[in-house]
Amino acid sequence: MDNVKNFTKGLIKENPVFALLLGMCPTLGVTTSAENGLGMGLATTFVLVMANIVISAVKNGIPDKVRIPAFIIIIASFVTVVELTMQAYLPSLFASLGLFIPLIVVNCIVLGRAEAFASKNNVISSAIDGLGMGLGFSLALTLLGAVREFLGSGKVFGLQIYDTNYGMLVFVLAPGAFLVLGYLILVINRFKKA
Amino acid sequence: MESTFKNMVLALLIVTLVSSAILGFVYELTKQPIVDAQLKKKLEAINKVVPPYNNNPNDEMYTIEVEGGEAVEAYPAKMDNKLVGTAIKTYTNKGFSGFIQVMVGFVPNGTVYNYQVLDHKETPGLGSKMNDWFRPQEVVAETADVKFSIFDWLFGIKPGGDGDTKSIVNKTPGNKGFLVAKDGGEIDAITAATISSRAFLDAINRGYTALQKSSQVAIKQDSTLVSTQLQGGE
């Protein structure tokens, strides 16, 4: 089935973070903890699915030359919806993700899927593609966040595993993001080949 | 689809119109919950930093002007109309990454009851420890972000013991204000985060100065009131 493939390709084979290396800004920026990574991933998933649905639905009514601006407006609207909703109902998550929520607008995964997939396929496969890509992104961010949180502060999802003072601070800071991402890609590529 | 001037304008117009309609709707829908969430966060902070009270500090909020033309917000906490403490929402711009906002509670004699960091962008794992560091150990034990360990001993980090040299709780800034040990004060700075510690204490001192200023004004007003009453009686 094509739709099954559309869904699963985003998880591993074409994972936006580990395989396509798209959306590095939020990936490196917010994954200081597993919870932040998951929150950011789910917010992006929502935007991806909704934007893909709407874009594939209106694609025939949009002239080619104004395609990109029209897509960006649609994406930005959904991002603002997420931002306002999160601010209202999940204020603490909103506080820790901060600037990265509005930045979903310029996340290349979202525009990339809109341009590469949603503008060429029907509504249902676009929605499934968005969901797969979004969940792949969430998975990657959560994994990255969990590893960094564990090595950096001895916690996973806020649950203390070992004493915080033994944690290596570098993993919570920016260089740790690059290190962990690099090694995770290494591990995943190794398994893909096998 | 072929692009002509007409259909390009039309398409963008429709897309933007629909988007703004949806956004307006969502904005209206979330306006009240956002205000409520912010108020809840503020009240939780006030609850934490002042002794138990039974008035509504948010309704009695007043602002005090501090140097530089800025103002801090003060929330008086009263038990049966008697002032038991004042929560001051104070700030500093001297943090390692700029702005830090702190809610700090003072009891009427000027000692710190408790504090809560509301907003900061300090380095995770270093400056971000300030939300626990400046409290006495037994209070910290519950939230447990800074515990004494072999690691501390190895690197000569002071255990803090009863938290006397780290804590600002139950101390009064006095005329000099709180200073870190490096600057000749009595408060131990966060290990490897002296700048954040200085900034934090700067915020507390700003709150204290503001409170002093406002209470002096209040006393003056009281005494003028008394003297006019006396004159009236003559």
Taking CA atoms, B41 is separated from B105, B122, B169, in Å, by 15, 20, 21
| Residue environment code for A76-92, b if the CB has 16+ CB neighbours within 10 A, otherwise e | bbbbbbbbbbbbbeebe
Phi, psi of A62 (to 5 degrees): -105, 125
Q: Which of A70, A87, A165 sits opposite B151 (nearest CB)?
A: A165
> Which residues in chain B are contacts of A65 at CB distance < 8 A?
3, 8
**Residue ranges with strand state E in B68-129:** 71-79, 82-95, 98-106, 112-119
> What is the band of B228 on the pLDDT scale with cuts at 50, 70, 90?
very low
Give pLDDT tens digits for A144-164. Answer: 999 998 888 888 887 777 777
> What is the band of B28 on the pLDDT scale with cuts at 50, 70, 90?
very high
Q: Provide the pLDDT for residue B227.
A: 44
Q: Which amino acid is at A30?
A: V
Alpha helices in A59-120 (DSSP H): 67-89, 91-97, 108-113
Does A61 lie at the interface with B, CB-CB under 8 angstroms? Answer: yes
**Look-up: residue for tokens 């897309």?**
B15
**Domain boundaries, position A122:** 2-193
Q: What number of residues does chain A have?
A: 194
Assess contact for B84 and B78: CB atoms under 8 A: yes
How many Å apart are CA B175 and CA B157, to the nearest integer? 29
The structure tokens listed for A91 are 């204020």
Q: Using the beta-carbon criterion (under 8 Å), do A84 and B27 form an inter-chain contact?
A: yes
Does A166 lie at the interface with B, CB-CB under 8 angstroms? Answer: yes
Q: How far is CA A144 from the centre of its chain?
A: 12
Q: Which of A32, A70, A91 sits opposite B15 (nearest CB)?
A: A70
Give pLDDT tens digits for A99-127. Answer: 788 888 888 889 888 888 888 888 999 99
> Which residues in chain A are contacts of B17 at CB distance < 8 A?
none
Write the ipTM.
0.77
Q: Using the beta-carbon criterion (under 8 Å), do A81 and B23 form an inter-chain contact?
A: yes
Torsion angle, alpha carbons of B97, A22, A188, B125, to 10: 10
Record the pTM: 0.75
Give pLDDT tens digits for A63-79. Answer: 888 888 999 999 999 99
How many Å apart are CA B78 and CA B56, to the nearest integer? 8
> Higher-confidence residue: B171 or B26?
B26
Q: Which of B7, B125, B147 sits opposite A63 (nearest CB)?
A: B7
Q: Provide the pLDDT for residue B126.
A: 78
Domain count, chain A: 1
> What is the band of B148 on the pLDDT scale with cuts at 50, 70, 90?
low
Q: Provide the pLDDT for residue B234.
A: 36
Q: Please state the rounded mean pLDDT for residues B200-223.
A: 73
Q: Which residue of A has its CA nearest to B145?
A: A164
Tell me the shortest Cα–Cα distance from B37 to chain A, in angstroms.
6
Phi, psi of A159 (to 5 degrees): -90, 120
